[in-house]
Chain A
Amino acid sequence: MSALALKLVEAPAKAEPAPKQPVAVATERPVTIDACPQRGIPGGQSPSEQAVTPPVREGLGEGGPRNDRFRDLAKVIIPPLFGIALMLGIWALVAIKSGNIPGPDKTWAAALKLFADPFYQNGPNDQGIGWNVLSSLKRVGIGFGFAAAIGIPMGFLLGRFVFMSRMFEPIISLLRPVSPLAWLPIGLLVFQKADPAATWTIFICSIWPMILNTAQGVQRVPQDYLNVARVLGLSEAKVMTRILFPAVLPYMLTGIRLSIGTAWLVIVAAEMLTGGVGIGFWVWDEWNNLKVEHIVIAIFVIGIVGLVLETLLLLLAKRFTYESR
């Protein structure tokens, strides 16, 4: 005990802490502080006591809390930076070795040029990357909107009535594993146009997670809540709006997240097949133009848009998740 206090007295004298063993210091510090409530120890500095003191504690100093915050921040930021650096390194290496693939520098230069004017329009087949992304998002939005409009009520029915869920189970099990692109020709046949056909594939791929997650949510509504509803004598409409809907909402949001994630994967492939305006078509177009750096940029753009969608939906889901206990 006194040995610890002794070090505390000493510490300020040993100027800037800048500890080199961050982990050890972080774990030891609370012990030290607790152990020595300013017990002066006037003359008790026997050699043995000094020997006991682990050298690690020398990191103790005034800048402690601030250092902690820096360290926490560093722990969050440094590993991703390493990851990104690793990716860029491998990319650069591959680019140098292959010769065809543009390296980070070339891609960056192309990106600067590309994003200088993302919203230009030179006829239907030559538009800025902003328009391409927006029209892809629009297709995803429309296709997903229809899927939600049909899938959520379907999910409620399947979750509420065993007969319905047994009735639809074979259909869903059979159709769900099918790649939505297999439905594209059917869409082309029915709608006679490329654009609605692409939206149609989005609809198909979005609807399954919507139905299944909503149904699961309805099945998992705690019996307690339904008992409350029965004891209070709530009407069906009130049970729906005040109990079932809020209880199912988190599951529905999971369904929405999965749906949109898949839809964003599928739209690129669908647009490569259908053409028109859209990020998938743009990738294919740039391949035909042999602008490989644009393809790399497109990969990043697609990834970033997907990440943003996912993050937004996660935030939304967090807002509507209730702590039940």
Chain B
Amino acid sequence: MDKPLVKIEKVGQTFNTKSGKFTALRDIDLDIREGEVVSLIGHSGCGKSTLLNLIAGLTLPSTGVLLCEGREIPGPGPERAVVFQNHSLLPWMTCFENVMLGVEQVFGRKEGRLKLKARVDAALAMVHMDHASGKYPHEISGGMKQRIGIARAFAMEPRILLMDEPFGALDALTRAALQDELNGVLGSAAVRPHRDDDQRSGRHHRRDREGRAAAPA
């Protein structure tokens, strides 16, 4: 386990805004090894989500490189699953179908219908949502939606799980319960930016140094 799963080298990100260039990230270096849980901590607006989006491949860096298993990250892919802050379930699909959408994409070529279904059911059971598999997202609570989002990400068996304040939109009680649950199921490496009260499940905390992470140019 010497080689890092994700290697971030001298990554910088600038955005063009109306008031000129804005540097969100500068000279970020970070290695994430297999099995590691990394929390990104920093004040609001310091670039946590920006870094996460870069690892996810949703955006590409202005400078520097991001490597996943030795290859440059060209764009998003199912091996880097994302749990979005606002769950982002598709409202026209049931919970089952939402999870299935990802499973189908990753395993659909190799496996039969029954096997895929078993995978979805297992993922839903893992987050204790098997009872709601036929429900639509608007029929379940915010915490339940987030569980489905986590199930969707886990079901794809990603190499790394990226969570952008996954419980940020939830109340404190639900958040604590989900944190504990998440600790129970975490296997693969995960990166997630967190607010202070979310830190406790991260085994490694790394703080974006303010000067580097969020200095307006």
User: Are B84 and A322 in contact, CB atoms less than 8 angstroms apart?
Assistant: no
User: Which among A225, A230, A232, A246 has the highest number of chain B CB atoms within 10 Å?
Assistant: A232
User: Are A234 and B75 in contact, CB atoms less than 8 angstroms apart?
Assistant: no
Cβ contacts A254-295/B at 8 Å (1 or 0 each): 000000000000000000000000000000000000000000
User: Are A232 and B102 in contact, CB atoms less than 8 angstroms apart?
Assistant: yes
User: Are A225 and B138 in contact, CB atoms less than 8 angstroms apart?
Assistant: no
User: Are A228 and B91 in contact, CB atoms less than 8 angstroms apart?
Assistant: no
A236-267 contacts to B, CB under 8 A, are 238, 242-243, 246-247
**Given A231-B78, A323-B138, A325-B138: A225 and B88 interface contact (C-beta under 8 Å):** yes
Q: A83 within 8 Å of B by Cβ?
A: no
By secondary structure, the A interface counts as helix
Q: A224 within 8 Å of B by Cβ?
A: yes
Count contacts between A and B, CB distance < 8 Å: 54
B77 to chain A, nearest CB (A): 6
User: Are A234 and B101 in contact, CB atoms less than 8 angstroms apart?
Assistant: yes
Interface size of B as a range = 20 to 34
Interface size of A as a range = 10 to 19
- Which residues of B line the A interface, CB within 8 A? 56-58, 75-78, 80-82, 84, 86, 88, 90-93, 101-102, 105-106, 136, 138, 156
By secondary structure, the B interface counts as loop
**Given A230-B76, A231-B76, A231-B82: A324 and B102 interface contact (C-beta under 8 Å):** no
Q: In the complex, A183→B18 CA distance in Å? A: 45
**Given A224-B84, A322-B138, A325-B138: A231 and B90 interface contact (C-beta under 8 Å):** no
Q: In the complex, A85→B80 CA distance in Å? A: 67
Q: In the complex, A171→B116 CA distance in Å? A: 49
The 5 closest A-B CB pairs, nearest first, are A323-B138, A322-B91, A246-B92, A230-B76, A224-B88
